């Protein structure tokens, strides 16, 4: 058994027994009540799921196993000479709850290289897709096409015991994450670079090798990818991509089915596709205004026009957060450190000053602040990755780490099929009619 799997096994056995004891003693305790508004309003804030890998605080933002992004930037191992955390380290932390050593992270980089072989039929399947198929469609289908390799499905069909589910899921998780950069880079190169593919460089870490296979050779782009893949990895369990992965997985669908489901949720414009929408919106604004250096007053006017047209301002707002997203701030800090004077980044920063008061003025937007998607496009454009429709795939490669680490936990803790109760409008009206009249 590999050292990470062994560590996970020990932790999982301990938490499994702890959880059984907790359920025996406290099953009937209530942690929440659901309002009519929450039922009709996308279940905001309803505490109904356990998610080990990260937790989101509305004011403070995301913490991965208790660590904030600035803390992780200091604590997680780096590539030689690099300043950004290695995403492998975050996966390790999410999976076993311990900050890994450099040696442990180096082992994981090598292990993912070892497991990174993509089945040939995945590339053949992609080649059959029209070139203008959205990269997220290609990505989700490519993940699904690799389901033929699922260790979980194979062992399930052979009669695996429930106690081994976590083991097979760990194998699928490691294989799948290892293969994603190659798959994503293949989609990128076939869609935008005439199928001129770049072979992996096995001397590189997971994020840097991805940057290399995309074909963007600026050394700072490798650093950006390491940071990007770290900060997008998880956002507790209720967000749409995480929750979709979790829901599909709860049927004992394997990691491939589950992640593909999660990616389909990430592809929506209110979720991961917002990173593509932000940069499209910025460039449209620059075109309409006829300048690369718009004033704050010009941006303000364009924001108002967007709202008047009945559209949202992409990259702003959040279902849970009520402050600027620390993932936005981390990207801003990266830009301040690595990039001197970029028009497009200046526009993003000016928008940060202009958009929140306008959204606040609408009186209905609960969070007027930028989210993770407000900044990423400008950084990617700076390094020459200007194919906007690919951006959500980058998000997806990172998100796989959080949702699949959690899938291992869901299997280890024996979480059952997810099946919340729904009611009809008629039921709601009858329920209300039975309530005592207030006042």
Determine which residue in the list 30, 364, 419, 426 makes contact with ligand CMX, applying CB under 6 A: 364
The yes-or-no answer on residue 373 being catalytic is yes
Q: Which is nearer to ligand CMX, 222 or 318 (CB)?
A: 318
Q: Which is nearer to ligand CMX, 166 or 228 (CB)?
A: 228
Distance between CA atoms of 355 and 7, rounded to whole angstroms? 46
62 binds ligand CMX (CB under 6 A): no
The yes-or-no answer on residue 212 being catalytic is no
Distance between CA atoms of 256 and 141, rounded to whole angstroms? 10
Distance between CA atoms of 157 and 67, rounded to whole angstroms? 39
In terms of Cβ atoms closer than 10 Å to its own Cβ (0-12, 13-18, 19+), residue 162 is exposed
Contacts of 160 (CB under 8 A, 6+ apart): 168
228 binds ligand CMX (CB under 6 A): no
Q: Which of 271, 325, 375, 382 is catalytic?
A: 271
Strands 61-64 and 54-57: antiparallel
Tell me, residue by residue from 251 to 270, as one string, x for binding to ligand CMX by CB under 6 A and - for no binding: -------------------x
274 binds ligand CMX (CB under 6 A): yes
Q: Which is nearer to ligand CMX, 174 or 242 (CB)?
A: 242
The yes-or-no answer on residue 271 being catalytic is yes
391 binds ligand CMX (CB under 6 A): no
377 binds ligand CMX (CB under 6 A): no
411 binds ligand CMX (CB under 6 A): no
Rule CB under 6 A: which of 317-356 touch ligand CMX?
Answer: 317-319
CB of 233 to ligand CMX, least distance (A): 13
Between the alpha carbon of residue 267 and those of residues 137, 182, 358, 396, the distances in Å are 8, 20, 27, 9
Which structure tokens are listed for 39?
């039922």
The DSSP 8-state label assigned to residue 53 in this structure reads S
29 binds ligand CMX (CB under 6 A): no
Report which secondary-structure segment, H or E, holds 61: strand 61-64
Distance between CA atoms of 63 and 46, rounded to whole angstroms? 19
Distance between CA atoms of 151 and 165, rounded to whole angstroms? 10
CB of 347 to ligand CMX, least distance (A): 16
Determine which residue in the list 15, 125, 252, 312 makes contact with ligand CMX, applying CB under 6 A: 312
Catalytic residue positions, numbered = 271, 318, 373
**Which residues would be at the binding site for ligand CMX (CB under 6 A)?**
270-272, 274, 312-319, 359, 364-367, 371-373
């Amino acid at each position: 058994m590999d050292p990470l799997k062994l560590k996970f096994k020990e932790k999982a056995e301990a938490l499994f027994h702890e959880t059984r004891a907790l359920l025996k003693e406290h099953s009937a305790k209530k942690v929440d009540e659901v309002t009519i508004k929450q039922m009709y309003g996308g279940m905001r804030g309803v505490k109904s799921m356990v998610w080990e890998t990260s937790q989101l605080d509305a004011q403070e933002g995301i913490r991965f196993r208790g660590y904030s992004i600035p803390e992780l930037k200091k604590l997680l191992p780096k590539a030689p000479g690099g300043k950004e955390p290695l995403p492998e380290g975050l996966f390790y932390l999410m999976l076993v709850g311990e900050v890994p050593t450099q040696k442990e992270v180096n082992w994981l980089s090598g292990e993912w290289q070892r497991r990174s072989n993509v089945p040939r039929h995945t590339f053949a399947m992609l080649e059959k897709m029209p070139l203008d198929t959205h990269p997220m469609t290609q990505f989700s289908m490519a993940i699904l096409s690799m389901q033929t390799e699922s260790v979980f499905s194979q062992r399930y069909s052979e009669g695996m015991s429930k106690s081994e589910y976590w083991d097979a899921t760990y194998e699928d998780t490691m294989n799948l994450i290892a293969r994603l950069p190659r798959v994503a880079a293949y989609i990128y190169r076939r869609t935008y670079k005439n199928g001129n593919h770049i072979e992996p460089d096995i001397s590189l870490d997971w994020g840097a090798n991805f940057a290399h296979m995309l074909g963007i050779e600026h050394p700072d782009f490798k650093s950006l990818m390491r940071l990007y893949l770290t900060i997008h990895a998880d956002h507790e369990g209720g967000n749409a991509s995480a929750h979709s992965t979790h829901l599909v997985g709860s049927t004992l669908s394997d990691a491939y089915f589950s992640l593909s489901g999660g990616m389909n949720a990430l592809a929506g414009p209110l979720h991961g596709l917002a990173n593509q929408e932000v940069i499209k919106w910025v460039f449209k604004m620059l075109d309409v205004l006829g300048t690369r250096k718009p004033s704050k007053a010009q941006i303000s006017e364009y924001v108002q026009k967007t709202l008047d047209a009945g559209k949202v301002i992409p990259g702003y707002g959040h279902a849970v957060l009520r402050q600027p997203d620390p993932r936005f701030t981390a990207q801003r800090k990266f830009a301040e450190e690595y990039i001197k004077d970029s028009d497009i980044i200046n526009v993003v920063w000016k928008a940060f000053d202009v958009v929140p008061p306008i959204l606040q003025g609408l009186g209905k937007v609960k969070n007027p602040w930028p989210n993770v998607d407000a900044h990423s496009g400008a950084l990617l454009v700076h390094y020459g990755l200007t194919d906007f429709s690919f951006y959500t795939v980058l998000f997806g490669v990172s998100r796989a780490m959080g949702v699949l680490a959690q899938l291992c936990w869901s299997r280890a803790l024996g979480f059952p099929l997810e099946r919340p109760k729904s009611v009809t409008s008629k039921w709601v009206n009858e329920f209300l009619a039975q309530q005592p009249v207030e006042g």
